[in-house]
Amino acid sequence: MTVLSLDKLSVALRSGGKSVTALNQISFDILAGETLAVVGESGCGKSMTALAIMGLLPADSARVTQGAIHFDGQDLARLGEKQYRQLRGRRIAMIFQDAMSALNPVKTLGDQLMEVLQVHAGLRRRDARERAIALLEKVKIPDAARRMNDYPHQLSGGMSQRVMIAMAIACEPDLLIADEPTTALDVTIQAQILQLLRDIQRETGMALLLITHDLGVVAAMAQRVAVMYAGRIVEQASVLSLFDRPAHPYTQGLLRSTPTSGQPGERLYAIPGRVPPLTALPSGCAFRNRCPLAREACSEAVPAMTAQRPGHHAACLLVTAQHDKEENHEHAS
């Protein structure tokens, strides 16, 4: 069953008196029990996509200009704030990137968890307290009843992230968005947090939208992956297909940039240049100024997403041309 479906979603930002397209026709689906990873460099639009789904775009500077966000028969892009509040935190929840800053520093962990349960689940204070303790135990926080009285500054980064996960799953949402859930955590704690998310997903059947720049996390967690660059999705495939035969030159560069041997002094590949600012995107393919395969044709048109093989799509003129050539060869033979 499809839990969430984005259909050509576009978001514009106001910058310096001008309107800039921050998300450009983003489309993907997430099924119940599935993990879809969205990857790409900083500034590509990953977190903006999450905020659009959550209805948390800054009203004074961002707006949905096109497309739809389908969830349970509703288009979230057309909902008012009052309607959104009935879904947010209850059926759609989010783990924010920086747990330490996302928690309220002047409220105890217990008060923050109980507030979620009282507002979204309608529990009385006593029942909310019991449920909050159970949630802290579920995310493997030791001595949970005592920890209810702690403040965020008394927690480590890993513990803070566990509390954020407890708050996010408090109402057993259908969709959980995890925005860089292991950033700034050491490798051991990262593995524990990822295993925790897997366990919760297996128990509840929730869909998970995982936003990350870490392809190792993608390999460990996701079934499918969408690669973003400069506000667009440039490749989308199953994780196995993408890692085995990446089609887009940008995806190939990302994979080459990932450590493999782990040997000291290993020289990593770096994609040349930087992601261009949204106010100064090159004509045609936005990646062409950094692409080792770029040709003149790449400056003439924005490439459309094209099927490379079943379930695997990429937006690259050269990849599409090669695919057509191979198909013509097969028909001729």
Pick the range with the lowest mean pLDDT from 234-248, 259-273, 288-302.
Answer: 259-273
Domain boundary among 259, 293, 326: 259
Q: Structural domain of residue 32, as residue ranges?
A: 2-91+171-259
At 110, list the tokens. 């217990």
Indicate whether 54 and 150 sit together in one domain: no
In the predicted model, what is the mean pLDDT of residues 259-263?
61
Kindly tell me if the per-residue pLDDT of 316 is higher than 80. yes
In a domain, 186, yes or no: yes
Indicate whether 164 and 188 sit together in one domain: no
Please report which residue ranges of the chain form alpha helices under DSSP H: 46-54, 81-87, 99-102, 109-120, 125-138, 144-147, 157-168, 187-204, 215-221, 239-244, 249-256, 317-332
Indicate whether 124 and 175 sit together in one domain: no
In a domain, 97, yes or no: no
Pick the range with the lowest mean pLDDT from 10-19, 147-156, 202-211.
Answer: 10-19
CATH number at residue 16: 3.40.50.300
Q: Which residue has the higher pLDDT, 189 or 207?
A: 207
Give every CB contact of residue 118 below 8 A, 6+ residues apart in sequence: 124, 125, 128
In the predicted model, what is the mean pLDDT of residues 20-41?
96
The predicted pLDDT at position 182 comes to: 85
Domain boundary among 115, 144, 168: 168
Indicate whether 121 and 246 sit together in one domain: no
DSSP symbol at 48? H
Indicate whether 154 and 74 sit together in one domain: no
Indicate whether 132 and 56 sit together in one domain: no
Beta-ladder partners of 229: 232
DSSP symbol at 88? B
Task: State how far the Cα of 331 lies from the Cα of 313, in Å rounded to an integer.
Answer: 21
Confidence of residue 59 (pLDDT cuts 50, 70, 90): confident
Kindly tell me if the per-residue pLDDT of 329 is higher than 50. no
In a domain, 149, yes or no: yes
